[in-house]
Amino acid sequence: GITRHFKFDIKLQNVTRLCHTRSMVTVNGRFPGPKIVVREGDRVVVKVVNHVQNNITIHWHGIRQFRNGWADGPAYVTQCPIQTGQSYVYDFTIVGQRGTLWWHAHHSWLRATVYGPLVILPKRGIPYPFPKPYKEVPILLGEWFNEDPEAVIAQALQTGAGPNVSEAYTINGLPGPLYNCSAKDTFKLNVKPGKRYLLRLINAALNDDLFFSIANHSMTVVETDASYVKPLQMDTILIGPGETTNILLHTKPASPNATFFMLARPYNTGLGTIDNTTVAGLLDYASTSNKNLFPVVLLKPTLPAINDTAAAANFSTKLRSLASAQFPANVPQTVDRRFYFTVGLGTSPCPKNQTCQGPNGTKFAASVNNVSFAFPSMALLQAHYMEQSKGVYTTDFPNNPPFQFNYTGTPPNNTFVTNATKVVALPFNTSVELVMQDTSIQGAESHPLHLHGNNFYVVGQGFGNYDPMKDPAKFNLVDPVERNTAGVPSGGWAAIRFRADNPGVWLMHCHFDVHLSWGLRMAWVVNDGPLPSQKLLPPPSDLPKC
């Protein structure tokens, strides 16, 4: 590989959408941010210079950062934020990974505007395990807020209520013609007939799973989270925040006299059945149809209803690793440690002398095993490296849930959560099985759980309560999908396996920013192995200080 240098200047930029202009934090003045294209084996060096008043960090979502958590990015986990006027160089090598990933800010809600694609091409001369595409196109799904997103979450944390929702969803930063005052801000993909296009879909939205479909075209899913999958033909896909999905789109053999909508709209069982928030882009066979002579037909796909859990499961349960000789699935066949995590929303008591607007006068909170993870005032990775965890974190993360979750069809009213910085410490190379059980008050969503620094295999999932007697017999240990983010189904469970072979401190959290902010997060500390090649590297000299 070669070394590729990039510079990210964090600066303010005025951006207008929906006839509303606001000043936003951007990388190099661009919204969405710049696309990074590299190859497997390359060393990537990104100098980030902070010219704004906000603290910031950048996370390279899905990059394994082997022994190199210093470049991972989550604030107060692997580094302190980059403060105004300071800079930090993210320096990492891409080992054994190729596909679509992305980068985003990992402090407060800055990722609403600070994000972009991270495309890793295979090594030179190594083809894709699917037909070569004619063109490759990133499709970033996101959200547009008329207000400052950091102010939105700050206000919600203060009042204890749910945060204001965004005004629109976007494709490559553009809301499209179904919103008011937005027709000119429409993403248009011009295609030729009879060609294959590789669409690199990234869900960069803050708080919603999205259904995505293109009118009168079926799509073939070939990769998720930068891992190849068995080709899967679908009319509609589901993509959770943090997840990436590569699809091959085979265009029609001859130019139809029509333009086709591509649409994305949330999947969320908590919102009732009515939903008007649909982002649209256009698929246009521009080259041969003569728009001046013929009327153009505009065709729309039919998306599942917003609460269509069956449609969501229909997609996520069908994904399988490619599991070929060249790209094998290395699913751990034995397990050293088993964990059972309940994930979901709860509440915490309203502080004295305050009125809270959460359920029954409390504050919304979210937790893993009823612990709402509190960020320390220094980076966990530094404390771990210096062997100075005292006063920063404790290793008594509860494994057995503190309450008996008994799924009856109605999610329970959770008890109050505990606020603490508790981690799970693992010996190097531990084979881990983790069952995550959804427990939520007030309706339910599929929580996209993201693990930093590791990929995992989704060996099982189901609805209702996980049954430790019956469900393991149904686990797929042959070709389960490999991911870095996976949905814990609404009112259900997901079981994952991974090998903890990456020494460092790795955050795991719900990729809905609101749940992350409410505390649906925890961290794994993976200790060094005995060999020099199994040890965390020393920190770089420019690592920001708190």
Query: What residues make contact with ligand C2O under the rule CB under 6 A?
Result: 59, 61, 74, 104, 106, 242, 450, 452, 507, 509, 511
Specify the residue, 107 or 497, whose C-beta has the smaller distance to ligand C2O.
Answer: 107
Specify the residue, 27 or 178, whose C-beta has the smaller distance to ligand C2O.
Answer: 27
Give 30's DSSP letter.
B
Specify the residue, 57 or 246, whose C-beta has the smaller distance to ligand C2O.
Answer: 57
Strands (E), 270-426: 279-284, 297-299, 337-348, 363-368, 371-373, 418-420, 423-426
* DSSP states of 287-325: TTS-TTTSPPEEE-PPPPPTT-HHHHHHHHTT-BB---S
Specify the residue, 259 or 382, whose C-beta has the smaller distance to ligand C2O.
Answer: 382
Q: Least distance (Å) from ligand C2O to the CB of residue 46?
A: 16
Closest of 531, 330, 388, 364 to residue 442, by C-alpha:
364
Specify the residue, 74 or 304, whose C-beta has the smaller distance to ligand C2O.
Answer: 74
Q: Least distance (Å) from ligand C2O to the CB of residue 259?
A: 33
Specify the residue, 44 or 219, whose C-beta has the smaller distance to ligand C2O.
Answer: 44
Q: Least distance (Å) from ligand C2O to the CB of residue 508?
A: 8
Q: Least distance (Å) from ligand C2O to the CB of residue 412?
A: 27
Q: Least distance (Å) from ligand C2O to the CB of residue 59?
A: 5
Residue bearing tokens 């999905």: 245
Residue nearest to ligand C2O (CB): 61
Whether the CB-CB separation of 113 and 196 falls below 8 Å is answered with no
Specify the residue, 375 or 475, whose C-beta has the smaller distance to ligand C2O.
Answer: 375
Q: Least distance (Å) from ligand C2O to the CB of residue 103?
A: 9
Specify the residue, 74 or 358, whose C-beta has the smaller distance to ligand C2O.
Answer: 74
Q: Give the number of residues written for the chain.
A: 546
Specify the residue, 452 or 515, whose C-beta has the smaller distance to ligand C2O.
Answer: 452
Q: Least distance (Å) from ligand C2O to the CB of residue 374?
A: 16
Q: Least distance (Å) from ligand C2O to the CB of residue 380?
A: 13
Residue bearing tokens 């990388």: 27
Specify the residue, 67 or 104, whose C-beta has the smaller distance to ligand C2O.
Answer: 104
Distances (CA, A) of 191 to 96, 188, 197, 250, 532: 32, 9, 8, 10, 51
Q: How far is CA 122 from the centre of its chain?
A: 22
Which residue type occupies 524?
A: W
CA atoms within 13 Å, Cβ hemisphere of 461 = 24
Q: Least distance (Å) from ligand C2O to the CB of residue 474?
A: 30
Q: Least distance (Å) from ligand C2O to the CB of residue 302?
A: 30
DSSP bridge pairs for 11:
26
Pairing mode of beta strands 99-105, 58-61: antiparallel
Whether the CB-CB separation of 77 and 507 falls below 8 Å is answered with yes
Distances (CA, A) of 145 to 23, 168, 198, 235, 501: 11, 7, 29, 29, 39
Distance between CA atoms of 508 and 259, rounded to whole angstroms? 42
Q: Least distance (Å) from ligand C2O to the CB of residue 104?
A: 6
* DSSP states of 449-504: EEETT--EEEEEEEESS--TTTGGGG---SSBPEESEEEE-TTEEEEEEEEE-S-E
Distances (CA, A) of 541 to 8, 191, 362, 376: 19, 48, 44, 21
Specify the residue, 34 or 177, whose C-beta has the smaller distance to ligand C2O.
Answer: 34
Closest of 209, 204, 438, 201 to residue 312, by C-alpha:
209
Torsion sign over Cα 56, 62, 66, 67: positive
Measure the N-to-C terminal CA separation of the chain; round to a whole number of Å. 34
